[in-house]
Structures are given as structure tokens and as C-alpha cells.
Amino acid sequence: MEFLGRHAVVTGGTGVLGSAVTGALLREGAHCHVPFIVPAEAERFAHRGHERVTLVGDVDLSDESAVARLYAGLPALWASIHLAGGFAMAGIAATGKAGLMAQLDTNLVSAFLCSAAAVRAMRAGASGGRIVNVAARPALEPRTGAGMTAYAAAKAGVAALTQALAEEVVADDILVNAIAPSILDTPANRHAMPKADWTQWAKPDQVAATILFLASPRNAVTRGAVVPVYGRS
């Protein structure tokens, strides 16, 4: 129960990976604060009603004021885990500025604003903390981002944010890392790729275990890492 009594924010917590991460945190004793923007997602959230889950509605994570309000109302914060994001499969010729900005807002801007708010909260508590972002395989291997250029650029920004911030806040005992998934084994991905070999894909629970370690007090030395979680894909 290494998270016993500790508070964690999980953005994107109502999604498939977010539900796995929240469940893992709860089993370790954490209190999870899960912002959401789509009420239907909160309604079907597996951990809705748990005594150590606080759902916070109508939070646009690309809005600086909304993010500031979310973090200002928290108890002493230990971990901030940023799973919220978006994906668009489109080549550059089919992507206008609006499409690019949408990918930047949902992926990079949300991670930046939540990281900044988390740092302020953790510094106020003076007890250190952990931040975990979500990049993607194209952030580490840009050529795999062909056909999804806006998404690849946004996730590369998340990777750079993670590495720069890790150096910036290490003196505060705040360790910042990211994971870089390839294809996760989710119902949506199975539906989109029905002929794929799903056994090769990383499972949400497996990826959640990596996130849990990076966010835990047990992680005493890893910072600035963008950890591949590709499975066998």
C-alpha cells in the first residue's frame, strides 16, 4: 500500500487505460482525482462511486483557468498522471491549422498545463512528487508517424516537455517521466483493426503497472525517461 494516504490526479482517467491506472492506484491505497469533460464517460467509469475516487466534471484540460481551479482545490498532491489526449490519422496535406492545433491542445497543451499546476502544488507541499506524461512511439521513432503528422508532432512535444521539466524540478524531489505506447489492446483499436494480431499489443493493465512504478515513492532515481511500452507490436 505504498500510495496509502497519497493523492493523485489522473487525467483521462475515465478511459480504458485511465480505468486501469486508477484501479491500480486504488489497490495501493491512493485517493484519485479524475477530471472529465464528457458526462457519458464518467457515467460508465468502472470506479465511479469508490470512496477514494473524486470525479471532477466540466474540466477542459487545454484551458489554463480550468486546470488551475482543478489543482487549487486538491489536498497535498503526490502524483499527477496525464493520460488525456487525442489521436487523428491524417497526412499533412489533409490537415489544416485547426487539425494541428486540436492535436497540440489535447496532447501537448493539456500535459503542459497540468504539469505546471502539479509542480506548483507539489512545491507548496514541499514533500516532492511524481509526474507521468504520455508520449507515443512516433515521439521516439518519428518515421512511424507518417500519415499522422500532427499527432506525431504533438507527442514529440510531450516527450521534450517531459525531459526538460525533469531537469527543471529535480531539486524539488519531483521526478518527471513519460511512457510511449505503440498500440494498446482496447476495444476501439480492435474494432479499427479487426485483422490485426491483438496478442502482440500491450494490455492496459501491463502499461498501468509501468505508470504505477514511475508514479510511486519506490521510484527514487528514474527521471526524464520516455519509456517504450510497445508490447510485441
Count of Cβ atoms closer than 10 Å to residue 147 Cβ: 13
Per-residue pLDDT tens digits for 42-65 = 999 999 999 999 999 999 999 999
- Name, in order, each residue with C-beta under 8 angstroms of 113's C-beta and a sequence gap of 6 or more: 61, 62, 63, 64, 67
pLDDT of residue 233: 85
DSSP annotation string for 191-228: HH-TTS-GGGSBPHHHHHHHHHHHHSTT--S--S-EEE
| For the chain, domain boundaries | 7-229
Q: What percent of the chain has pLDDT over 90?
A: 97
* Pick from 28-32, 87-91, 156-160, 207-211: least confident: 87-91
Average pLDDT, the chain: 97
| Separation CA 116–CA 118 (nearest Å) | 5
Mean pLDDT in residue range 163-190: 96
Mean pLDDT in residue range 88-105: 97
Res. 11 pLDDT band, cuts 50 70 90: very high
Across 186-213, b (16+ Cβ under 10 Å) vs e yields: beeeeeeeeeeebeebbbbeebbebbbb
Topology (CATH) of 7-229: Rossmann fold (3.40.50)
Per-residue pLDDT tens digits for 219-233 = 999 999 999 999 988
| Separation CA 4–CA 29 (nearest Å) | 4
Alpha carbon distances (Å) from 4 to 8, 31, 222: 11, 8, 21
Q: Of 39, 16, 22, 15, nearest to 215 (Cα)?
A: 22
pLDDT of residue 117: 98
The model's pTM: 0.96
Per-residue pLDDT tens digits for 136-175 = 999 999 999 999 999 999 999 999 999 999 999 999 999 9
